[in-house]
Each structure stands twice: as structure tokens, then as C-alpha cells.
Structure 1
């Protein structure tokens, strides 16, 4: 279940709808942080999308909110797209700017679909859609649920972990020692999935790129450095991450990750 909420002083509720199409379209890839050309054509200026809002509530509240008053074409403007769990609680949100209604369709069976135009500062990951659906039923209660996701879809897991607002979101207390299970770290996205859970438990988040990882080490998304990190089976990641290209000569992605951790006072033990 989804809903729209105006980005105003009152968080004005605009209406529910049952599904969201053509919205989760991003394919940035975790490795794009090392590609100087990644994100060209949208980065900095944002992206324009035309998502479809399926199954608006029968009260017509959403249709009224999306219709431009007096035909002015203004629409609701800036909104938050909220995602809800099966109990109706908000578990995540995406900001969409300059929303205007382009087309309203009603089928014979009563199904409605609103096509809107909107601006986003970044494209929601394609893999996030199925993760949100799964977490709306039950967020992860054990680690490594993300392992079943194919490469290229794990970025969606990281996005949901970062945005998730459910009741079970807890800040892991600071300890002196943490263990990172390296068994399944076979690409860069899986490193961020694994370290998120190492630091904050099932479904945890602890960065999605080196800049975000560096920010997390100051606290706010879990334990702050300094601490000791024991990286079990680090050889799996070393083989994979060590061969990935970077913008620094003679420096691997693995080297850059370890350097990021150690610069903030983390003692990294490669086991």
C-alpha cells in the first residue's frame, strides 16, 4: 500500500493507492562510485519520471488532490510517497517534486490509474520494489536474507535498509568488537549489505558507498568508531573486490574500504 502526503507544514494526507509502477527504475550499481562517468545525464539536475499510481482509494481523495484546481495545471506540487506495511504503518518515504497529473484512467472493473509527472533527485533502485513488498509483510529477522538476491538487485536492499522506518529499527549499542561475515561478499553491493548487518543486525544499514560509510563511522546509523572489526573469510572479498577497477592507480576497492575504516580509528582484522 502507498499514499501521497503533501510536503507542507501539516503533512497533508492526499490519498491512498495500491501499487506504484514505472517508479523503481534506477540501475546505478554500487560500483558506480568508482566510475567518473556514472550518473551522467541526471546527476546534479535530478530526473523526471512518469510513474503510474494504480488503484486509488474509492473515496476519490487522491483524484481530487491530483487534479489541478481550475485547470491551472499546478497539481499538488511537492509530495512524499509513503510506503506502508500490511498494518498500514508508514515504513518508508520518497520525495517527489513538482507533481502534476497527466492522465487519469478508469477501467470497466473499477480499477483506476493515475499517470503523473514528477522530479526526483535520484532514481529509486529497480531492486527496491520487491524488497519493499517483502519488508511490508515482515522485515528481516535473520541475517543474510539478501544473499538470495541476484547481483544487480542488492543495491535495492541497501536502499530499503537506509530508508526503512519500521518499528523494529533499532540503533545497535556500541561495542568494542564486531564481526563481519565475509562468506557472501562477492561484489561491492554485498559488502554494504553484510557490513550493515554486522553493525546493526538483520536488515541493518551502514553505508552504501565510501562517503556514506565514512559518515556512518561518526554515528547516526549505528555504532561510531573507534572499534575492532574482525572480517571473517576476508579472502572471498579480497579476490573479488581486489580485482575491481578504481580511479586510483595500484589501489583496489578492498584497499579503499579498509583505508576508510582505519582512518576513522577502526582496527580491521582480516581473518
Structure 2
């Protein structure tokens, strides 16, 4: 992925660019505190974010001069998450970025701490530590999601999806005929099934679907594996029993995963699943 324009290489972790004009760079920020924290009593996507150590530019800078007025709304933007070199790891689309406070920042004489309101339903609670693992190069083994809550694994999958392009850096799909292994002992619910499957195909924090429709899409190519391939599903009886047990989920459904449908989707794409 490309480097954010004008990120300045100053240890920034975030950057914003207008959704309407790619040339309208809104500037980098050291922090985006509150991005992953829903506001109490509000809908899930509502956020109040402190852009600490921000160097505002373009539409965002113009909005700081209109606090308390309608023109304090800068509009919609792409909010990039940056690695230690300033390269974009992934992006969230954020709606209606509105500046509600602007103060000098202790991080630098020419920086501001901007408080903004915005809407971002894809920045899930629990996702920030996963982005930090990627930024700090600590995604060095599989299974780091095992001890997370179902909500945490749901957030893990979202980061696996949004960071995929950055982590794979144009790497082609594995050739057809691969033999992959899925460890059923790690599978306790739907989220853990997709976490384990993604890593079986694509390694640490790998993505290969997060629901049945997405799994079907991934099997069509460009997501790390070329069909046909063989999937050995170890300890399958244990995992199938757990997938068939109703439980609350972050999405509010029954939590039951239709195992025959999973096998059917694999079979439709020429994947041989060997239950062991």
C-alpha cells in the first residue's frame, strides 16, 4: 500500500484524507484516542476521537476555525492507520468528521490536540491492540486470538480483513493442490472457526472469510489459496459439536454454524475436506 501523502515521518500512527478529493490531505496524528470506543448511550458507530498531536491540513484545518458552527464539519474521510515507517496498514471510512475542540498539543509547538466527532462502525472495540501487533511486528505466530472473548475474536477478524493488502504486499495466491491443516481444538465458536481457517490458509492473523458468504467469495480466488486444495480438519468431532451448540454472538444470532453448509461450500469449489 502507498505511503500517506505528507505523513512527515514523525512517528505518526494515523492520517486522514478527504473522501471527496484524494489531494485534500487532512494531516497526520500521533493518536486517535476513542476511535475504537463507542459512545455510551449512542449507536455503535458514534465516536468522539481525540486526535492528539495532530498536524491539521486542508479541510480539517479549515474546520478548526469554525468551532461551534456548521462549517466545523469537515465531511467524510479515509482514516489511515500507519506503521512505524508511515506506510498505510489499513483504512477506515469515517463519516461527518466535525471538530468540536482545538488546543495546543504538548507533543509539539506546531501541533494541535483536536477533538472530533465522527461515525465509524468498522472500528470495532478490541481492534486497536491487534493493529498494534501488526505495527510493532509482533504477529510472529498463529493462535494469538485463542484467549480473546468472542467480541475480541470478531474484532480480530475485522483487522485481518482490513490489513490483508498491507501484510501480503502483492504476494500471489498459493498454487492449487496445497494440503492445509485446520486444528479443531482451537475452534469453540464461529469467530474462532474463521480465525483458525484464516491462519491455516494465510498464516498469523490470516483472513479467509468471516461468514459463509465471505468464505464462498474467498474460495473464488485472490484471497491466498487456489482451488482445488485439500483441508485436513483435525479433531473435527470436537469442533463440530461446539459449532452446533447455540450461544450468544457479537452479531446477536444463535451462534450455530451449519456444518453441512460449510462442507457444501468447500465441495462446490473443489476443496476436499478430510475430517480426522
TM-score by length of structure 1 reads: 0.78
Shift of the alpha carbon at 1:223? 1.8
Question: Structure 2: which 5+ runs fail to align?
Answer: 1-12, 249-253
Say whether the 8 Å CA contact 2:176–2:226 is kept in structure 1. Answer: no
Say whether the 8 Å CA contact 1:81–1:96 is kept in structure 2. Answer: yes
Residue of structure 2 in register with 1:99 after alignment: 97
Alignment of 1:64 onto 2:65? no
Residue of structure 1 in register with 2:124 after alignment: 125
CA gap of 1:118–1:192, structure 2 versus 1, over 3 A, is same
Residue of structure 1 in register with 2:115 after alignment: 115
Q: Tell me, in whole angstroms, the C-alpha distance in 2 between the residues paired with 1:87 and 1:244.
A: 44
Residue of structure 1 in register with 2:205 after alignment: 203
Say whether the 8 Å CA contact 2:105–2:112 is kept in structure 1. Answer: yes
Give per-residue Cα distances to partners, 1:138-180, cap 9 Å, x unaligned: 1523222322434421112211111114354434313323222
Q: Tell me, in whole angstroms, the C-alpha distance in 2 between the residues paired with 1:261 and 1:92.
A: 29
CA gap of 1:196–1:167, structure 2 versus 1, over 3 A, is closer
Residue of structure 2 in register with 1:239 after alignment: 241
Residue of structure 2 in register with 1:175 after alignment: 176
Shift of the alpha carbon at 1:210? 1.1
CA gap of 1:56–1:191, structure 2 versus 1, over 3 A, is same
My pick for the range that moved more, 234-243 or 255-264, is 255-264
Residue of structure 2 in register with 1:35 after alignment: none
Secondary structure of the structure 1 residue equivalent to 2:213: helix
Q: Which has the higher contact order (CA 8 A, sep 6+)?
A: 1
CA gap of 1:260–1:139, structure 2 versus 1, over 3 A, is farther
Shift of the alpha carbon at 1:68? 5.7
Residue of structure 2 in register with 1:263 after alignment: 268
Say whether the 8 Å CA contact 1:20–1:53 is kept in structure 2. Answer: yes
Q: Across the two proteins, how many residue pairs are aligned to each other? A: 250
Q: Runs (4+) of structure 1 moved beyond 6 Å?
A: 107-111
Secondary structure of the structure 2 residue equivalent to 1:73: helix
Question: Structure 1: which 5+ runs fail to align?
Answer: 27-40
Shift of the alpha carbon at 1:216? 0.6
CA gap of 1:14–1:178, structure 2 versus 1, over 3 A, is same
The 5 Å alignment of 1:149-188 reads 149-164=148-163, 165-166=165-166, 168-169=168-169, 170-176=171-177, 177-188=179-190
Aligned CA-pair RMSD? 3.2
Say whether the 8 Å CA contact 2:19–2:76 is kept in structure 1. Answer: yes
Q: Tell me, in whole angstroms, the C-alpha distance in 2 between the residues paired with 1:183 and 1:11.
A: 49
Residue of structure 2 in register with 1:83 after alignment: 81
TM-score by length of structure 2 reads: 0.77
